[in-house]
Amino acid sequence: MLKLLNDICNFVFPPYCSICGEALEREKVVCNWCFGKIHFVTNKACRICGKPIKSGNICKTCKKNPPDFDFIIGCGNYVPPLSNIIRFYKYNYRTSLLKRLACILYSAYQTRGDVKRIKLVTWVPMRRAELRERGYNQSRQLADKFARLSGLRSVSLLRKARNIPSQTKLSNEGRLTNVLGAYEMDYGALDKVSEYIDNGVIIVDDVLTTGATLRECATALKEAGIPRVVGLVLAISP
Ligand SMILES: [Zn+2]
Ligand SMILES: [Zn+2]
């Protein structure tokens, strides 16, 4: 039965790398070569938002308008093949890919000793219509898997205060105003984990573009009394 199921799967999803087309072992979606080509963040980055900068420690945006999050840990730059892998993952949910992406989050987290006290992990909520259409929230899947790897507790703390229009087609400035006040705290959920909140929260997302979404989420979390909010994202767009 299992073999039949596997054969059907291989027929529906042929075992070729979704990024480069190379033939693959069963159950994989992206080949090792493509994973090996990911550019991890090595360039000079803003100490707060993780965006690449040429000089100094903090970027102009963070200086002018400091965010409520303490800092962002970014794994890689949002360039191919990581950008292709994330896009593929976002629209074609595959367990094997989720595992590898969660491992990438975990390795970046491991390099930062200053977040080890944090016990809680949460994620960026998705628009209801989008969630209905896709059937899953990729940030939540990543947060859950990452929490399992790191022995932390994954908890749904935020929800959409209103249904905001999609961010994808907006300018940088448009994105900032579009998400203002868009997230609110689920106080019922917060009560259940109140013993851990003093250590702070890690919030997981797939890509940081302008940082507007994570800024708003961090504002809601801090207003609820969480003293420390650290973002953990797969990729940071330059
Ligand atoms: Zn490949
Ligand atoms: Zn910055």
Q: How many domains does the chain divide into?
A: 2
The answer to whether the pTM exceeds 0.75 is yes
116 and 187 inside one domain? yes
69 and 164 inside one domain? yes
Least confident of 17-26, 129-138, 202-211: 17-26
Q: Is 7 exposed, middle or buried (0-12, 13-18, 19+ CB in 10 A)?
A: exposed
Per-residue pLDDT reduced to its tens digit, 76-98 = 999 999 999 999 888 887 777 89
Q: Which ligand does the CA of 29 lie closest to?
A: 1
Q: How far is the CA of 129 from the centre of ligand 2 (A)?
A: 31
**To 5 degrees, how large is the angle CA 189–CA 191–CA 196?**
100
32 and 112 inside one domain? no
Q: How far is the CA of 45 from the centre of ligand 2 (A)?
A: 8
11 and 48 inside one domain? no
**Residue 15's domain spans which residues?**
1-37
CATH of the domain at 163: 3.40.50.2020
33 and 43 inside one domain? no
Q: How far is the CA of 48 from the centre of ligand 2 (A)?
A: 5
Q: How far is the CA of 111 from the centre of ligand 2 (A)?
A: 20
2 and 116 inside one domain? no
23 and 90 inside one domain? no
Mean pLDDT, rounded, for 50-73: 94
Mean pLDDT, rounded, for 33-41: 83
Per-residue pLDDT reduced to its tens digit, 12-26 = 555 788 888 888 776
Q: Place 40 in a pLDDT band, splitting at 50, 70 and 90.
A: confident
Least confident of 16-20, 27-31, 47-51, 80-84: 27-31
120 and 209 inside one domain? yes
Q: What's residue 32's pLDDT?
A: 85
Q: How far is the CA of 166 from the centre of ligand 1 (A)?
A: 30
Mean pLDDT, rounded, for 66-72: 97
Q: Can you tell me the distance from the alpha carbon of 87 to that of 57, in angstroms, rounded to the nearest whole number?
A: 30
Q: Which ligand does the CA of 16 lie closest to?
A: 1
Q: How far is the CA of 37 from the centre of ligand 1 (A)?
A: 9
55 and 165 inside one domain? yes
Q: How far is the CA of 55 from the centre of ligand 2 (A)?
A: 12
Mean pLDDT, rounded, for 185-189: 93
Q: What's residue 136's pLDDT?
A: 87
Q: How far is the CA of 196 from the centre of ligand 2 (A)?
A: 28
Closest CA to 232 of 49, 26, 1, 28: 49
90 and 141 inside one domain? yes
Q: What is the mean pLDDT of the chain?
A: 86
Q: What's residue 9's pLDDT?
A: 47
19 and 64 inside one domain? no
The DSSP secondary-structure symbol of 114 reads: G
User: What sign for the dihedral angle of Cα 83, 36, 102, 62?
Assistant: negative
45 and 142 inside one domain? yes
